[in-house]
Amino acid sequence: MWLTAAAARRERGASEVPDAAAAGAAPPALIAPASPSSRPSSYDLPSLFRDVVFAPIHAAVQFWITSDLGRLVDGVINAVFGSYVIGNGSPGTAEDPDGGAAGWLLGDGGAGWNSTEDGHAGGDGGAAGLLGVGGAGGSGGVGAAGGDGGTGGRLLGIGGAGGRGGAGADGGAGGDAAALVLGIGGRGGDGGDGAQGGRGGNGGDGAAFLGSGGDGGDAGLSGIGGASTGLPALGGAGGTAGALGTHGDVGRSGRIVDGPASAGTAGSLSPVSTTGTWLTNSDGQVVILHGLNEVYKVAPYEPSASGFAADDAAFLAANGFTVVRLGIIWSAIEPEPGVYNTAYLASIDQTVQTLAEHGIYTIIDMHQDNYSEEFQGEGAPLWASDGGGRPNPSNGFPGNYFTNPAEQHAWDVFWDNAAAADGLGLQDHVTQTWQQVAAYFSGNTDIIGYEVINEPFSGSSWPADVLGSRFFGHQQLTPFYNQVIAAIRSVDSVTPVWIEPGNPAISEIPTVLGLPVRLGTIDDPNTVLSYHGYSGGIPVIGGFIVGRLASASRQYANRHDMPVFLTEFGATNDTSVITTEMRAGDRIRAGWVEWAYSGVGDVTGSPEVEWLVRDPAAAPVGDNVNAATLTTLAEPYAQTISGTPVSYAFADGTYDLTYSTERADGSGRFEPGARTYVSVPDLAFPDGYVVTVSGGQVVSAPDARILVIASGAAADTVHVVVSAAPAGG
């Protein structure tokens, strides 16, 4: 009700008040209404405080300011103090586009001028007083940006909405909330439609304590009035949250009327997507994948530079592995702000194709450790590595996370979406980088996932995270994931997006102590939870640690109806540790990739002990292969199941699989005779194997490396046991 009343207030001219531009003037609208396509904001504590406390006070103040008596009294007060104490800011004009500031005590900022001239931006909204709402930014003229919303009141207030961009131009940013008590950021302005649509404006940041961020504006459409030469425009980022508030939602991405085709290589493997809590292929069969990580952490950051090539892919396939988590590095993709290295993506594409030629899928992993090279790691470009002039000691990995003030500052400004040198936020840059990557690989079915970021760290707030705070996971990391996913979906609607909880350095202890995975709700149904399951090699309790990590991950995935996947474990040559960690993933029926295929170039790991293959530039034979690790990892497993897994395990030389013939999507059962394929590597049963089946039958040759089971007539459940052939048999 208070918004309706406020929007109906009268405009007053500058001549009606002394000294001030317009003591009784009110902006045309306090807060620009959300566009019909916008999602409703979460109802949180700041919203409740706004409606119960701020709204009636604000309505009373505005009633007073715009009344005849109020204008008379306020004029006297302003004259006595010799400054503008109470009153609304004047609206912008063509001659003076920006809205005027409100009185420093009470009042709303003036609205920015709505440009009527081509190439002229809308005016910025004026700042509110101690209590008030920032002025709305004006809309831009053709080809010009909308104005930014004004800052909300410094005690209680709401930032002004950003103005809509003119044709093909960006929306203005929502006003920040600088309030000491309550402050909600303004909504970003929508981008304008055009040959190249405008980007939505970012939402304003919430106040530090009782504050919520404004929602980002929606992007404009491209291909309107001319052919588009770029990617779809992106919605604005939501504003940051205060300690007791909620992060703003990302705006809706635009689209191109006739979008560009993918530059990448079309895939040769069957597509894999998500169906509820399972990965499935196009026939509806559940797909389980085992494999290795391959991340080259030094320039040029291309796995092929380490020597990883076709002989490595053939070696993996021969031992039953079907997936590689392949690292890409932000600094290699975007070496300068807004400059993208397509030659690097072409190199990655070639490795993806090489793997696919051997039946191996790829997870594209945007990898980082210690944020960037600036802090003895890899990941962000140097231009995005702001240490804030703080000490930058070399305490290694993971020591720098906890002890390096410069690195912690770099993370802090990243999560604040601080502007890079070109004025675009750091998170916005990563988002655009992911859009470039997804556009390049869109349509490539050899890729089964885009993993947004490896082991994200919270920065200087890490002690609170270790003690169980939800803020980082729910109000920083989850909104970032939603922003990146929106960008990916603007160019690729089908490839699953993989997300991780916070860095194990801050998430393992709370999870082991019984807290749930600290992530919020992801705004996309085609996502996978990626988790890391390191036990630290701790005797006795190592199994408990990885068991808790696995069960908490499965619980989150089940609640949010998504698959779960163990994307890192191992990093050691101790096969008892590898076995313990791997079994924890098996118990929750998760696929896995072990760390790592090779330690070459691993500047933040344990390259001397983590490798399966010592040097990818040499053939994977003889002492270039860790035979004990290979024997441990090359376990039997069902790769494709015509049904839904109930349980599976490989222990004491026996593989035991039970699956229901029920389809993963719940649409019924697979027909009798439907086939399930089980990888049985030679290393698992070097002298052959025997199979016992109930509810089905073996239809493959004896001792085949791929065991094929056909379900029996009217079978609801199939039980398969594979064990070593008896000696002399």
- 423-468 confidence digits (pLDDT tens): 999 999 999 999 999 999 999 999 999 999 999 999 999 999 999 9
Cβ(568)–Cβ(559) below 8 Å:
no
Q: Of 190, 249, 386, 492, which residue is the catalytic one? A: 249
pLDDT at 31: 38
Q: Which two tokens stand for residue 551?
A: 């069960």
**Nearest Cα to 150, choosing from 167, 178, 125, 172?**
125
What does the domain layout of the chain look like in residue ranges?
A: 43-259, 272-634, 641-724
The strand pairing partners of 658, in sequence order, are 647, 719
Bond preceding residue 303 cis, omega within 30 of 0: no
The verdict on whether 148 is a catalytic residue reads: no
Mean pLDDT score across all residues of the chain: 93
pLDDT digits (tens, 9 = 90+) for 237-283: 999 999 999 999 999 999 998 765 555 568 999 999 999 999 999 99
- Which of 74-78, 613-617, 724-728 shows the lowest mean pLDDT across its residues? 724-728
Cβ(212)–Cβ(245) below 8 Å:
yes
Task: Say whether pLDDT at 235 is over 60.
Answer: yes
What is the band of 21 on the pLDDT scale with cuts at 50, 70, 90?
Answer: very low
CATH topology of domain 272-634: TIM Barrel (3.20.20)
pLDDT at 604: 98
Render 537-569 in DSSP notation, one character per residue.
T-TTTHHHHHHHHHHHHHHHHHHTT--EEEEE-
Ranges assigned E (strand) in 116-246: 131-133, 156-158, 182-184, 210-212
pLDDT at 5: 30
Cβ(94)–Cβ(116) below 8 Å:
yes
Task: Say whether pLDDT at 718 is over 60.
Answer: yes
Is the domain covering 641-724 a CATH 2.60.40.1180 domain?
yes
pTM over 0.85: yes
Please list, in sequence order, all residues whose beta carbon lies within 8 angstroms of the beta carbon of residue 419, skipping any fewer than 6 positions away.
425, 426
The strand pairing partners of 694, in sequence order, are 719
What whole-number distance in Å separates Cα of residue 162 and Cα of residue 147? Answer: 6
Q: Which residues of 522-548 are buried (b: 16+ CB within 10 A; e: fewer)?
A: bbbebbbbbbbbbbeeeeeebbebbbb
pLDDT digits (tens, 9 = 90+) for 603-635: 999 999 999 999 999 999 999 999 999 999 999
* Equal fold, 272-634 vs 641-724: no
